[in-house]
Amino acid sequence: YDICFRTLKLTTPTYGDLNHLVCAAMSGITTCLRFPGQLNSDLRKLAVNLIPFPRLHFFMIGFAPLTSRGSQQYRALTVPELTQQQFDAKNMMCAADPRHGRYLTAACMFRGRMSTKEVNEQMLNVQNKNSSYFVEWIP
């Protein structure tokens, strides 16, 4: 609801608007199950690789680009823009603000026409520039 109201500037969000956001996020996460790709995995492997300890098993989904239902605007975003939006507190699908804590692990999934090299460079850039937001005891 908060994303619809504050980020997408919808004055009266409906259940359809909320469903659109949830569907878009879940569709993005489960892409690896539905389409062939270079780095395909399943959700179990993703969870195993992202959860360092069984009690620390909560995921925070950051989704980009956020669009409202029925929005016909299409704009090609660059890899740095998408990455910045993924880690932005306004794009988190939960009420937690990542700026008030630290990341243990992160996984970014990209869809569309972009080079793997560019994505890898951007992920390395995020690690180096924002190292204070990641714990140092997990490489």
| Distance (Å, whole) CA 108 – CA 89 | 15
79-119 pLDDT, tens digit per residue, is 999 999 999 988 898 888 888 989 999 988 888 888 989 99
Query: Do 48 and 105 contact (CB within 8 A), yes or no?
Result: no
Q: What are the chain's domains?
A: 2-133 (3.30.1330.20)
Mean pLDDT of 21-39: 82
Distance between CA atoms of residues 80 and 121, nearest Å? 10
Give the CA count within 13 Å in the CB-facing half-sphere of 57.
6
- pTM for the full model? 0.81
**Coil, helix or strand at residue 103:** strand
pLDDT of 121 reads 94
